[in-house]
Amino acid sequence: MHNIEYIYKTELEQLKSAVKDGGSSYHTFTLSSFSENYPEIRTVVLRGVGIEPLRISFNADFRSPKIKELKSNNSCSALFYDQDRRVQLRFKCKAILNYNNHVTREIWDNTPLQSRKCYMGNYAPTILLDEWNPNIPSEYLKKDPDKNISEQGYINFSHIQLEIIESEVLQLHHDGHIRFKVNNKGEYLYVAP
């Protein structure tokens, strides 16, 4: 019998450390949401982990399609995979959008200038263009804006918290996989791998 509570707590610790560790497999994850016609997926950067209640978070340009999708239907999924350890984490989530509020203000105030300039672009993410454009003001391609000028990007900044409804852990082993779910009541359930 495996100690699945220990496994789960270990994976949560891996998630927490991945927020600051850009080399961690959990530093980026795949987010799925519902568009009008097709499910959509994309990779986002993990920016926060809260344990009670369990939440993960990321930042996004408020003009991006994923924000529109999450506003229309806040049900989504998050997928993490650590190839070296052969562990997959799947989360069923409800998105909480933060825009132009005390949450985004605090996070924005701690966002490096290099990252702030990514929100200063004239074009909404995924908009069709006639030719390639880096969507960063040309004067900041090789340097960062000063703090006052970077404030122009705040209007496009949002922070999304994903409230975890259900977690699923899958550890791949040649002698038998381990798979289990944890619901939002803290109940552990074995699942056939």
pLDDT bin (cut points 50, 70, 90) of residue 121 is very high
Q: How many CB atoms lie within 10 A of CB 78?
A: 21
pLDDT surpasses 60 at 131: yes
Q: How many CB atoms lie within 10 A of CB 91?
A: 23
pLDDT surpasses 60 at 30: yes
- Mean confidence (pLDDT) of the chain: 95
HEC assignment per residue over the chain: CCCHHHHHHHHHHHHHHHCCCCCCCCCEEEEEEECCCCEEEEEEECCEEECCCCEEEEEEECCCHHHHHHHHCCEEEEEEEECCCCEEEEEEEEEEEEECCHHHHHHHHCCCHHHHHHHCCCCCCCCCCCCCCCCCCHHHCCCCCCHHHHHHHHHHEEEEEEEEEEEEEEECCCCCCEEEEEECCCCEEECCC
pLDDT surpasses 60 at 153: yes
Q: Please report the pLDDT score of residue 2 as a whole number.
A: 73
- Residues of the chain with pLDDT > 90: what percent? 93
Do 2 and 176 contact (CB within 8 A), yes or no?
A: no
Q: What is the arithmetic mean of pLDDT over 185-193?
A: 90
Model-level pTM? 0.94
pLDDT in tens, 83-113: 999 999 999 999 999 999 999 999 999 999 9
Q: Please report the pLDDT score of residue 128 as a whole number.
A: 96
Indicate the burial class of 80 (C-beta count within 10 angstroms; 0-12, 13-18, 19 or more). buried
Quick one: which of 15, 81, 92 has its CA closest to 51?
A: 15
Q: Please report the pLDDT score of residue 52 as a whole number.
A: 86
pLDDT surpasses 60 at 135: yes
pLDDT bin (cut points 50, 70, 90) of residue 184 is confident
Q: Please report the pLDDT score of residue 193 as a whole number.
A: 84
Q: What is the arithmetic mean of pLDDT over 55-74?
A: 97
C-alpha–C-alpha distance, residues 91 and 181, integer Å: 9
Domains assigned to the chain: 4-190 (2.30.110.10)
Q: Please report the pLDDT score of residue 170 as a whole number.
A: 97
pLDDT surpasses 60 at 1: no
Q: How many CB atoms lie within 10 A of CB 41?
A: 13
Q: Please report the pLDDT score of residue 5 as a whole number.
A: 94
